Structure 1
């Protein structure tokens, strides 16, 4: 198959698990003999850092990068007008560029990933012939009704405007959004993100946790990191052994300032540290240097690739019982779930797992087996490949 894949960002430039998952799927499809060309934005590109002929970084990135999350909150209408005008103008350029690429490559399939920052209009306004179009939904794209769309709208996934041939959703949460948006349930399938086999810990031995906890991800209020710090305050007072927390990632600086103030308020400066965002491969070592991963989101997280990564390295996960993580974690079997936005419950679950060594090691073994059985990229890619082949066969009838 000749596949043209569109994504706002593509590694080595990425903001989260979305882009990493896209590369994993695409690499696997290429290994299976399919010709996949990626079309992405110019974000992060210089003359020296891109030499792959199968990656076209020609599109304009639409986001207002220099305005942080806090500025948007304080001045929403100003940001809305400026951002919408900018998106409208750049979308016109993207439509022209994408049209030329689609005509030149003449693909069998158009595979869309996260396109909000290059615009879905980029593709749909230029598809003249009947090319099957599929989308991988890893975020609330069907529920994307923000202030940015009120002026010069550049993004709409109304079922009356776009008719996808198939929708892949990374979780049941995302599938529910697609159904509520009016899409045909028979054209929707749940395909979780996957990781490569080399992430799996080859040998697992009995381990006594030493109290080293880890958070990995974007530093944003909806990620609930403040609840981890509050939970640490409870633990610091009541837990007899040493505990340490590493917060790895980057994000909204105003929120980071708030987190640091909270750490100072609770006198946790010696046991909580920040670490800059790391490359995907370096995270392997970071996971194995810690005892627990905390996923503290207070919103309906679509999936949570970091859970799969940690589980594959034999690191138990404690996650808030909401959204995608609650589908991945089987409570008391492959991890622990706690009540969202409840730092006291999180503290209890942390203490429980650090002190019950039998449960801790049982979860480690179960988590690795769960990843091996359900989340290896080789297995989940097969479902995508078979669906794409079926679409082409249907189109030739």
Structure 2
């Protein structure tokens, strides 16, 4: 198959776990001798083809007020203008049209549409190509893609979100197949009327972290090492974690790895006691997980999945996680970790205290952790599932005598660095 993989970002620009999974999909399908082309947004104007082995990667400048992958948070007015344009951005159809015209894919695997908007669906449909849409987040319901407001997870789209997503559910009728990375995220979208005519699938994300020893290495005696790795933002609950941890009188440390907007990082560092809380900056997951005893995933929003929880369990690190979104599909209470709830603010502190005081429980959870996530460690099975879904979508597409771009002259595509 010739597969065009569309996504908001692509490594080295990583906003979260979706970028890691998208790269795994692109490289995995390429290794299976499919012709894979990746198209993502980038910091430079124009459409650029990157040099390198593996899948072909194009990056295009974003036709909006700013590129959304940056450290500083724009003003509220600029953000509103950005989201207003992103509700349907016809200018983003041009680079997509150029890449389709050049490579003539058989099927398009759409991932995060932030920046592209649902205008991408119209362009792909105009080319007569089947669409497989992967749901990594809640972008189709919420412009911020989190459904998180005023410190709480929204149960339904608010008035503003509904206005900015008007007719999107109808537009989703163009999608041949939809894939949720969790049951939660698929059901959240379909309950709102999305993808009524599409084949529906759940394919959990997998991780390709290198294998470890068949049993965990006993943690050294000394302070218990809690850790967090991920984006430093309000919806991730890092402030809640710091407050709950610092309220405990236990022999323990807390390491926080990741980056966020500058103002968010500054606020968290001002809250933390440097004698007990360390900010480690960006860290490779495997190296970081080897330096902690317990991972905490304190999400306040309905996390669509939670790849980091699988990564931790795969390394025999038990996890404390909230019972939000797709996380309970990974973490099972008293099997590979403990669950807590933002609705009970002290539940996070109680879970940390329990593991600090009960070494036997902690070691049992560590022993069981890797086996508990075994289905999430089979990358080839995940690729098999996507391959089957793509083939089914391709088999069901409308037969056309002439390619719609037969006479189209593609826009100039410049090599990276020009």
- Provide the TM-score with structure 2 as the length reference: 0.81
Tell me the residue number matched to 2:189. Answer: 178
1:218 aligns with 2:217: no
Q: What secondary structure sits across from 1:199 in the alignment? A: coil
Shift of the 130–330 alpha-carbon distance from structure 1 to 2, 3 Å rule, reads: same
Match 1:243 to one of 252, 257, 275? 252
Provide the rounded CA distance (Å) in 1 between the counterparts of 2:362 and 2:175.
Answer: 44
Provide the rounded CA distance (Å) in 2 between the counterparts of 1:164 and 1:194.
Answer: 24
Shift of the 123–364 alpha-carbon distance from structure 1 to 2, 3 Å rule, reads: same
- Contact 1:143 / 1:177 at 8 angstroms: preserved in 2? no
Shift of the 376–126 alpha-carbon distance from structure 1 to 2, 3 Å rule, reads: closer
1:301 aligns with 2:303: yes
Provide the rounded CA distance (Å) in 2 between the counterparts of 1:131 and 1:177.
Answer: 26
Match 1:135 to one of 130, 133, 136? 133
Instruction: After TM superposition, give the deviation of residue 312 of structure 1 in Å.
Output: 1.0
- Contact 1:223 / 1:297 at 8 angstroms: preserved in 2? yes
Instruction: After TM superposition, give the deviation of residue 374 of structure 1 in Å.
Output: 3.4
Q: What secondary structure sits across from 1:131 in the alignment? A: coil
Shift of the 335–44 alpha-carbon distance from structure 1 to 2, 3 Å rule, reads: farther
1:271 aligns with 2:273: no
- Contact 1:222 / 1:298 at 8 angstroms: preserved in 2? yes
Instruction: After TM superposition, give the deviation of residue 227 of structure 1 in Å.
Output: 1.4
Tell me the residue number matched to 1:363. Answer: 365
Shift of the 396–253 alpha-carbon distance from structure 1 to 2, 3 Å rule, reads: closer
> For structure 1, which segment, 328-337 or 351-360, has the greater mean C-alpha deviation from structure 2 after superposition?
351-360
Q: Which structure carries more helix by proportion?
A: 1
- Contact 1:213 / 1:246 at 8 angstroms: preserved in 2? yes
Structure 2: which 5+ runs fail to align?
145-159, 400-418
Provide the rounded CA distance (Å) in 2 between the counterparts of 1:48 and 1:102.
Answer: 14
Match 2:326 to one of 304, 324, 343? 324
- Contact 1:199 / 1:312 at 8 angstroms: preserved in 2? no
Provide the rounded CA distance (Å) in 1 between the counterparts of 2:372 and 2:211.
Answer: 11
Matches within 5 A, 1:82-121: 84=84, 91-121=89-119
Provide the rounded CA distance (Å) in 1 between the counterparts of 2:300 and 2:344.
Answer: 10
Provide the rounded CA distance (Å) in 1 between the counterparts of 2:219 and 2:361.
Answer: 11
Provide the rounded CA distance (Å) in 1 between the counterparts of 2:189 and 2:352.
Answer: 35
Tell me the residue number matched to 2:241. Answer: 228
Structure 1: which 5+ runs fail to align?
none
Q: What secondary structure sits across from 1:122 in the alignment? A: helix
- Provide the TM-score with structure 1 as the length reference: 0.85
